Structure 1
């Protein structure tokens, strides 16, 4: 499922351009297991609310400072992109209205 992406990531972290398929499959198994475990733990944290939130994941990784910092950085970047898209959509709507 993620093998092509994992190959690129592995290369980016210093592996060969074409890592062994067995290695990629093993890394994929580890990643899928980690993400599945993290989601189950987040569901346990959110079980009182019944709704899974981003904060549930941040709570679980709170003691892993590099991971927490990277996640907050990516969330902030995602918010900036949303705002930029929103501003672009508004500008585009104004141009379309002016053309009519």
Structure 2
């Protein structure tokens, strides 16, 4: 039986406290506001709605990172393949992530070519 405040958080764990998550509030509001409008919401969504969506997104990403850390514990390093492993059953997310990673690699290659040509 646990006598501490929470038996879920490990000693020395990198899981953020509830207070630290609340201090990050508002970081994505502007971006979420534009994304919600882009996906068909009102041009000026209610601040409460944006705050709720932000809370959901932050919680999802935080949980995903913690799961990826658990997957990567044997290696000690966190790589993109750890996230791909976690979303492997969600094909739309997996396809979008692999597309973005491919585009990122293409951009890196284009920058190398551009830098080489400038020299």
Return the TM-score normalized by structure 1. 0.92
CA distance in 1, matches of 2:77, 2:62: 17
Which runs of 4 or more aligned residues in structure 1 lie more than 4 Å from their structure 2 counterparts after TM superposition? none
> Match of 1:15?
41
Q: What's the C-alpha RMSD, in Å, of the aligned pairs? A: 0.5
> Match of 1:97?
none
Match of 1:72 among 98, 101, 105: 98
Return the TM-score normalized by structure 2. 0.77
Q: Does 1:25 align with 2:34?
A: no
Q: CA deviation at 1:67?
A: 0.4
Q: Indicate the structure with greater helix content.
A: 1
The gaps in structure 2 that reach 5 residues or longer are: 1-26
In the TM superposition, 1:13-92 aligns within 5 A as: 13-92=39-118
CA distance in 2, matches of 1:12, 1:23: 15
CA distance in 2, matches of 1:72, 1:59: 11
**Count of residue pairs brought into register by the alignment:** 93
